[in-house]
Amino acid sequence: MPKYTPLAVANTFLARHAGSAGIDHMKLQKLVYYAYGWWLAYQPEPLLTEGPELWKHGPVFSSLYRTLASSRSAGIIEPQKAVPFSLPPTVPEADDQAIGLIDWIWGKYGQFGSFKLSDMTHAKGTPWQIEAEKNNYRVPMHHKIPDGLISDCFKKEAEALDN
C-alpha cells in the first residue's frame, strides 16, 4: 500500500471538497489527522509518510504546517505545492480505499470548523489528550503521538460505531 505525504491528503481534501470558500490550514490539519487515525483503525500500516506531533492546538503534521503556514487562517482553495516547479501532490483517484476514506472523513467531520475540530482532538481520552497529560500539558518539540495509541483510540471508536 502506498504511503502519502500529509500534503497529498490535504490537497485531496481541497481538490474534492474545498468549494469557493476553501478550507483553512487548521481544519486541514485536523482532517488529515482524522484520516490518519481512521486508517490505523483498520490497517496495520499508516497511510501517511509521517505521524502527527503533539502541538498546542492538537495533533499537527509538521511538514504540512511548514507548507501551509503562510496561509494563516485564510481559506485555501487550490491544492498546494511542496516545492516550486512541481505538481501539487494528491492521492491518485485509482486508490479507491484512500479516496473513499477521505470522502468518508469529509462526510463525518467536514461540517465542523477549525476550532470545533481542535476541541474534539483535545477531548478526554483522545490520543492528543493522553499524550499531553503524560507531558504535563507541555508540548515538547517534535514529540510524535504514538501510532499504537492512535490506533487503539480509533479502533474503540470504530467498535462503538459498529454497535
- For residue 116, name the pLDDT band (cuts at 50, 70, 90): very high
Query: Residue 56 pLDDT > 90, yes or no?
Result: no
Contact indicator for 40, 46 with CB cutoff of 8 Å: yes
Residue 99 within any structural domain of the chain: yes
pLDDT at 98: 97
Residue 1 within any structural domain of the chain: no
CB proximity list for 30: less than 8 A, separation 6 or greater: 58, 59, 109, 114, 117, 118, 120, 121
Query: Residue 108 pLDDT > 60, yes or no?
Result: yes
Q: Which domain holds residue 51?
A: 6-162
Residue 138 within any structural domain of the chain: yes
pLDDT at 11: 97
* CA distance linking residue 46 with residue 22, whole number of Å: 27
For 121-150, how does the pLDDT look when each residue is reduced to its tens digit (9 = 90+)? 999 999 999 999 999 988 888 999 999 999
- For residue 80, name the pLDDT band (cuts at 50, 70, 90): very high
Alpha carbon separation from 38 to 22, 51, 56, 66 (Å, rounded):
23, 13, 22, 24
Query: Residue 2 pLDDT > 70, yes or no?
Result: no
Query: Residue 83 pLDDT > 80, yes or no?
Result: yes
Scan for cell 481538490, then name that residue: 15
Query: Residue 27 pLDDT > 60, yes or no?
Result: yes
Residue 85 within any structural domain of the chain: yes
Residue 140 within any structural domain of the chain: yes
Q: Quick one: average pLDDT of 55-76?
A: 91
Alpha carbon separation from 153 to 78, 115, 127, 139 (Å, rounded):
32, 21, 7, 20
pLDDT at 148: 97
Q: Quick one: average pLDDT of 89-98?
A: 96
Q: What is the count of structural domains for the chain?
A: 1
Q: Quick one: average pLDDT of 10-36?
A: 95
Q: pTM for this structure?
A: 0.95
How much is the mean pLDDT over the chain?
94
pLDDT at 72: 80
